Structure 1
Amino acid sequence: MYKIEYVESVQDDLLDISKSNKERIRRAIEKKLATNPIEFGQPLQYSLKGLRRLRVGDYRIIFQIEENKKVVLVVKIGHRKEVYG
């Protein structure tokens, strides 16, 4: 089991997301990232190398795995059109 931690700015990311989508995102983090983030998260490239993403509908959860600490650090959550910029 991995511990989930969040960058402070993630709270701002959630302000514009509907309640139902927030719930879907929360469940995905609990069920997928907390149990096996390597299996469920796809590695990113270029300027985001070292980070991974998890798809939840039209939203993306950008995260980093700290394997030695068994921690998943959620860096950003947002709509797929905006999250990578």
Structure 2
Amino acid sequence: MTKPGNKIDRTLCSYVIEYVQKVVSDDISSLLKSVRIQIKQAIEERLTVDPIGFGKPLRYSLKGLRRLRVGDYRVVYQIKNKSVIILAIKHRKDIYDNA
């Protein structure tokens, strides 16, 4: 636990990241290595700590899902309890057609 005025202990509020099989087999493998590294780092640094604060809620047919912006790429995910389920990782021009 933390004392007042101290930073929050991130181990107490960390989320578990899970990937849908399609993301692993299709989305991640199609990315350039440099983009893959950026996205992995963003997921580890942001979504494991505060997926609600860092992500933006989606609307209409994608209501209930959230997205994380990483350059020109978008990570679409869903939060269930303490798990963040990654549903799609694609370029911004393609993501909402396939999510």
> Hey, what's the Cα distance between the residues in 2 that align with 1:4 and 1:15?
18
Q: Which runs of 5+ in 2 are unaligned?
A: 1-13
Structure 1 runs, 4 residues or longer, greater than 2 Å off: none
> Hey, what's the Cα distance between the residues in 2 that align with 1:53 and 1:62?
4
**2:25 pairs with 1:20:** no
Larger Rg: 2
> Hey, what's the Cα distance between the residues in 2 that align with 1:23 and 1:55?
14
| Counterpart secondary structure, 1:84 | helix
**1:79 alignment partner in structure 2:** 91
**2:76 pairs with 1:49:** no
> Hey, what's the Cα distance between the residues in 2 that align with 1:14 and 1:82?
14
The sequence identity of aligned pairs, in percent, is: 54
1:14 offset after TM fit, Å? Answer: 1.6
Question: When the two structures are superposed, what TM-score results if normalisation uses the length of structure 2?
Answer: 0.82
Q: Which runs of 5+ in 1 are unaligned?
A: none
1:21 offset after TM fit, Å? Answer: 0.3
**2:70 pairs with 1:32:** no
| Counterpart secondary structure, 2:37 | helix
Greater relative contact order (Cα 8 A, min sep 6): structure 1 or 2?
Answer: 1
Question: When the two structures are superposed, what TM-score results if normalisation uses the length of structure 1?
Answer: 0.95
1:25 offset after TM fit, Å? Answer: 0.2
**2:26 pairs with 1:8:** no
Higher helix share: 1
